[in-house]
Each structure stands twice: as C-alpha cells, then as structure tokens.
Amino acid sequence: MIQAIGLTSNARKECPPAVDDVSFEAHAGRVTALLGAHGAGKTTVVRLMLELQHGRGITYFRGRPLHRLAHPAREVGVLLGDVPGHPARTVRGHLRMLCAAAGVPVQRADEVLEVVGLVSLREQRLGTLSRGMDRRLGLACALLPDPHTLVLDGSADGLSTRENKWLHGILRAHASLGGTVLFTTGDPKEAARTADRVVTLAEGQVVADQEVTDFARTRLRPRVAVRSPHATRLGVLLAKEARNARRTVEVVPEGGSHLSVYGSTCADVGETAFRHNILVHQLADEIGDAGPATARALPPGDNADARVPTSPEASAPRTDTHMTGPETHDSPAAVEHADAFAAASTVGPAATPAATPAPAGAAESINALAPTSTFVPVVETAPRTTIPAAASGHGAESHGHLRHGAAGPQASAAPSLLPPPITVGSARSPLRPLRYELRRATGIATGYLTVALVLAVSALLSVLLARVGHTPQTRLLAAWPQELPLPPAALGAGLLGAFAFGDEFRHPALAADRGTVPRRLGLLGAKLLVSAATAVLMAVLVVGCGAALLHLVYGPELTKVPADWLPQSASWLSLVVACAWAGVLASGVFRSTAAGLAAVVAVPIVIVPLVQKALEGPSVRTAAGLPARLRDLALVHWPFGAERFVAAAVRMITQPVGGAMMLSLTALLCVYLLLVLRPRLR
C-alpha cells in the first residue's frame, strides 16, 4: 500500500505552496484516483511521493520510503508524461535496453509487449508512435520490472474512449492480482468509473477522501439538461410546481438559455413546458458534477458544520438558484459527508484514539529529527497529517502557528516538528551497465553510419595521398594527411564516444523526470569499454580497407608490412582509443555531444601548442630517449617481447600529441570523479 504523510511543496516566493499537508492512503488490491482540476496539485503530489521534487513529508511504499528501497523500479512502476527514449530506437529495442537497466531477463520485454498489445508494433520507431501507442509503451516500461505499485500521472490524457477503457482494464487487472494502483485524473466521471477510492484535491489540499459509492452519490448527481429561449420562466414554473407538490427540485441556470434541473426527470420537465406553451430546444438526462465538497478544520467549540467553499462562485450567494423542498442547499448525504470530514479534520484529544498508526519507518524518520517530539497521526476518515511547527528556530519562524486546529496553551507548549524534508535523489545506474551500454549503442543507426562514413573518407584519403606522394606509409595507411590535426578514424572514435553520454542527456531513459543522468563509475566503465572496443574495431577496419584499396589501385608496393609494425600499431590504436575516451569523459562532464567532440579536436589544436611551448627552453627537462634507457635498465628479459609494447607506449606519451592527450584524459577523468564523489562528500 501507499501511505502519503504531510506532503508539502516548498513555498514559491510570496505565493503559498502548491501542495500543503496532503495525506492519504492507497491500499493494495484497489485502484485509487487522485482527482483534481487543472492546477489543483496532482502532479506536484506525485512528484513529491516519488522524490522528484523538493519539499516536506514522507511516502511509504509497503512500509518503506522510496530512498530506502534497494531497487525502487522493482517496487514502483511510474508513468509520467511521454516515454523518454531516442526517437530512432525501436519499441522492442527500447524495452530490451531498459531490461538491462532494471536487471530483469530480456524475455520480459516480449512479455510486456503482449500485455499492452504492442507485439505487432515491436519494430516501430518511438518517434512514429501515436498518442495511444505511446501510452501503451509507457505502461509497458512501468510494468517491465513487475512492480507491486503503479503510479500514473495523467495517463489517460489525450486518449480515445476505446484506449481509455483499455487502460482502465489494465489497471483493474493489476489491482486484482494484489497490486496497488494510483492514478491522477481531472475527470470526476472517469474516477467514478475506474477507481475504488477517490481522493479529491483542491488548491493543493485534500478536501475529500471517499469510497467510490460515496463519491458518486455526493459529487456526481443526475440532472436534466434543458435549453430553451424562455429558460428563466421555465425555471420559475418548475420551482413553483415542485413546491406545491412538496418535492425536492433544484433549478440552476447555467447561463443564457441553459438550465440544469436536479431531482426531476425529462418527462416532468417536458410536461411542465408543454402545459405552459414553452418552446424547448434540448431535453436530456446527464450526470452533473456537483463540485468538490470542501470542509475546514475548526477549533473545538466552534460550529463544525460550517463549510468553506473553494471558489468565488461557490462563496457568493446563489440568488439565481431555485431550491424547493425540505432540504435547503445540499442533499443529506452531502451534508453528512461534509460534517464527518469537518469533524475528523479537527485534531484534538478525542481524535487521537481513532488515529491510524504510522508505519515503523515513519517513527524512525521522525525521531531522527527530534527524539523528544510527538507525532499526531493521520485520521482515517479525513486523511490530513497534523504536524505542529518545529521547535527549532527556523521552523518556528516560518510557520509561526500550529497546523490545522491544534489550539490551546497545552498544544502550543508541546514540543513539535515539521515533516521530514524530501530531497531529490539521483537516478540509479543500470544494474547491468555493460549489457545496457551494448544495447544502447547498437539500438540506433548512428554508430553504424559514423563507422561507414569514416571508412569511406579514410579510403578516399588514402588513395589521394598515394597519388600525391611524399606521405609516409604509416600515415598513408591511417589516412592521416599532414594538414589535418587528427585522422578521420580518431575524429570518428571521438564522435562515437561523445554520443555515448550525449544521447543519454538528450533522451534520458535512465533518469526520467530527474533532469540528469546518473554519473556512476559502473556506467562510466561500461561506456569506456564499449567505446574502446568500437574504436579499435574501426581503426583495424580503416587500415585494412585502406591497404586493400591501395593494393587494388597501386599494387603491393604501398602495402608492405613495415619492420616496426608492432609499435606503430600500438601507437595507432592508442591514439584512436584515447580520442574515444576523451569524447566519453567530456560529454559526461559537460552533458553535451558537441562538448565531447570539441574536447577531442581541442587536443591537437589547443593543448599540443601549449605543451610544446611549455617544453621549450634549455632549462626544461624532457623525456627524450626514455624508451632506450628503459631497455638498458631492464634487469630481466620481458616475456613475449613485452618491452616493445612498453617502449611504444612511452614513445607515444613523450610525443606532443600523446602527451597532450594523456593530459586531457587525466583532467577530464579527475573532473568526472569529482562530480561523482561530490554528493557523497556533502
């Protein structure tokens, strides 16, 4: 079950908070609707529950807050807005990628596709999905880890009647299996059709928490919709006849020629109009929205029957409403519900025995803030958490009074506290980062197109350089002209590395609605490994394709294997891998693909001249001749000729480009580690 206690958003400058002390429960095996008009605070409540927004309060999912769950995605399935994902990725590929992130078997993707009815569209691109199909995919993403709780915000917005009915059937089926379902809606009729319990919000506060039968009786009232050019005269006649017959009829002018008649039928209204020769243009039975019943908690001794409307229209005297019969303004059920809500909202000694005890986790969180404080639990009939102002200085100054009717000198002198703060936690890294990164990189055509473009450009450059002449064989095979700061293969590797984090920030599948991708060492290691493997493969293909084309055009003279091919190959592969890693680290630090590619290009253009200038002058010691000295100092013979690899690596580092690349990689890695460790050091 879900237990939301004292959810309060942060105040917005001089405006009151969008959500103030919202408390309710959503039980397992039942569907709960969070109902409210636009701007009532439904989305804010959901974001506070899921710790996506700063505020105060606490929410328990089966007795534990979200930040204490080892794997939140396996406990709570969330659907907020559109599905975050690369528009070029397929439906099945997106789900398989999320399977690796959630740590569930890949077969689960095909299972949820059958559940939501997207098997025939599994190869469809995300960018081509309609609104209804996008909602189905979002529900599939929420169901992927097989969670116990489903939380959906505006899931039916923009759907057709058929899609809406299907969605409600899925939610009902999940609840029938013992799960907990909470969804938000602004349509009272939809809440009455789908939910078992309806929590009504108005102006950021809970104004009603009812079973669906009570909600339908007090909120949704049958009425007769009338449209006539003589609506005012017809309303007076209907009220007069109802008074004479001692029947309860309420006539509400809706403006112009429209009337809403409560407590009557189409036959009675039609007969009245016929007897008095009144022209009627429309006469139909409808279900009218009577508006949310609101109540205010009053101190003991005040009139608990007093009701406070939430809108200026409701607060104004209804002089244009004709009400006849023994009842004055509301039906007995509505008045009884308002009285019960007002009485339950009043916190005092009498309300304490009927309180619902808080879960074990709540006591721990509250006692951690103030061990000597007392906590007034939520009352079941009126789910509002009464938590007095904190005894600390800033809490007492900000609130300055007891919340919701805790009056009297005894209550004011008692120690108290604020609800615990809600901090936005970073998104979790994928549970299987290497598998996730492989599916992310291979799920779209960007990588394949980049590799194909690099191969084509490199082969063409190799042929042109061979025709011009005066190019060393090593540069000829790598397609690296003297005029270019880096070869096309190195630039392509840097671009692929920049895409590794750049696509994450553009389409944050790992951090939906959190605004940032998790910077985790496991995710970084997977991206570095995959980008290095891709860069090595591309470098080998560039040399192989260039050699084959040169052999085909100019013969075997230009494709002979050089004597020092091993160190040259190590230097070539190290350069390409370093460019790929620079792209990964820079895009991860600056959260941009362009920044990652710029960091790669800046090495030979900016950093190399700075390094060369720093090494100028006779007083600066250099590492020239270091490989030869290492061979002379070797006391034992290295197995398998490993000293050649070490010498090649050292030779590359001592070169300007190699030294600048190592300096750039070291700086980017240090910045990335600082960003990873900074939240832990707070």
Residue partners of 618: CB distance under 8 A and separation at least 6: none
User: Is residue 450 scored above 90 in pLDDT?
Assistant: yes
pLDDT tier, 432 (very low <50, low <70, confident <90, very high otherwise): very high
Given a contact cutoff of 8 angstroms between Cβ atoms, the answer to whether 440 and 93 are in contact is: no
Q: Highest-confidence range of 73-87, 470-484, 523-537, by mean pLDDT?
A: 523-537
Most confident of 296-300, 548-552, 609-613: 548-552
Query: How confident is the model over 493-520, as a mean pLDDT?
Result: 83
Which pLDDT score is estimated for 7?
Answer: 95
Tell me which fold the domain 220-289+301-328 belongs to. Alpha-Beta Plaits (3.30.70)
Residue 468 is predicted with a pLDDT of: 86
One-letter amino acid of 415: P
Range with the largest mean pLDDT of 114-118, 414-418, 622-626: 114-118
On whether the CB atoms of residues 318 and 185 are closer than 8 A, the answer is no
Question: 335-376: per-residue pLDDT in tens?
Answer: 333 343 333 333 333 333 333 344 444 434 333 333 333 333
Q: Which of 17-21, 49-53, 452-456, 474-478 has the lowest mean pLDDT?
A: 474-478
**Poorest-confidence range of 264-273, 516-525, 639-648?**
639-648
More confident site: 629 or 619: 629
Instruction: Let me know the angle formed at the C-alpha of 639 by 634 and 640, rounded to the nearest 5 degrees.
Output: 125
- Give pLDDT, residue 614: 65
Residue 75: pLDDT band (50, 70, 90) is very high
DSSP SS3 for 6: strand
Select the more confidently predicted residue: 660 or 437: 437
Map residue 76 onto helix, strand or coil.
strand
Query: Which helix (H) or strand (E) element contains residue 2?
Result: strand 2-9
pLDDT above 70 (res 509): yes
The closest of 114, 37, 102 to 75, measured between CA atoms, is 102
Residue ranges of domains in the chain = 2-211, 220-289+301-328, 349-422, 433-681
Of 508, 510, 503, 501, nearest to 428 by C-alpha is 510
pLDDT band at 676 (very low <50, low <70, confident <90, very high): confident
Match 């007492």 to its residue by tokens. Answer: 396
User: Coil, helix or strand for 400?
Assistant: coil
Q: For 3-22, what is each residue's pLDDT tens digit? A: 999 999 998 777 888 999 99
- Predicted confidence (pLDDT) at residue 393 exceeds the cutoff of 50: no
Label residues 101-128 b or e (16+ Cβ within 10 Å = b): bbebeeebbeebbebbebeebbebbbee
The predicted pLDDT at position 654 comes to: 54
The proportion of the chain whose per-residue pLDDT surpasses 90, expressed as a percent, equals 43
pLDDT of residue 255: 81
When the pLDDT of each residue in the chain is averaged and rounded to a whole number, the result is: 77
The pLDDT score that the predictor gives to residue 630 is 54
Give me the pLDDT at residue 183, please: 95
- Decide which of 305 and 230 is more confident: 230
Considering only residues 159 and 142, tell me which one the structure prediction assigns the higher pLDDT: 142
411 pLDDT above the threshold of 60: no
Question: How does residue 586 score in pLDDT terms, banded at 50, 70 and 90?
Answer: very high
Is the pLDDT at 416 greater than 80, yes or no?
no
pLDDT at 513: 64
* Alpha-carbon gap, residue 226 to 268, rounded angstroms: 12
When mean pLDDT is compared across 34-48, 312-326, 557-571, the lowest value belongs to 312-326
Contacts of 139 (CB under 8 A, 6+ apart): 79, 116, 152, 155, 167, 170
Rounded CA-CA distance 242/331 in Å is 16
Predicted confidence (pLDDT) at residue 127 exceeds the cutoff of 80: yes
Q: How many helices and strands (H and E) does the chain possess?
A: 26, 16
- The predicted model gives 626-655 an average pLDDT of 56
> Model confidence over 479-493: pLDDT tens digits?
988 888 889 999 999
Question: What residues does 2 pair with on adjacent strands?
Answer: 26, 61
Choice among 363-372, 464-473, 508-517 with the minimum mean pLDDT: 363-372
Q: At 108, is the pLDDT very low, low, confident or very high (cuts 50, 70, 90)?
A: very high
Q: How many residues does the chain have?
A: 682
Architecture of domain 2-211: 3-Layer(aba) Sandwich (3.40)
Asked whether residue 308 carries a pLDDT value surpassing 70, the answer given is no
- Interatomic CA distance for residues 65 and 149, integer angstroms: 13
Average pLDDT (143-155) is 93
The number of CA neighbours under 13 Å toward the Cβ of 227 is 4
Q: Which residue has the higher pLDDT, 34 or 659?
A: 34
Alpha carbons within 13 angstroms on the beta-carbon side of residue 551 total 10
Phi, psi of 209 (to 5 degrees): -140, 100
Residue 321 pLDDT: 40
Strands 220-227 and 205-211: unpaired
pLDDT, position 262:
87
Beta bridge partners of 386: 376
What is the mean predicted confidence (pLDDT) over 611-617? Answer: 62
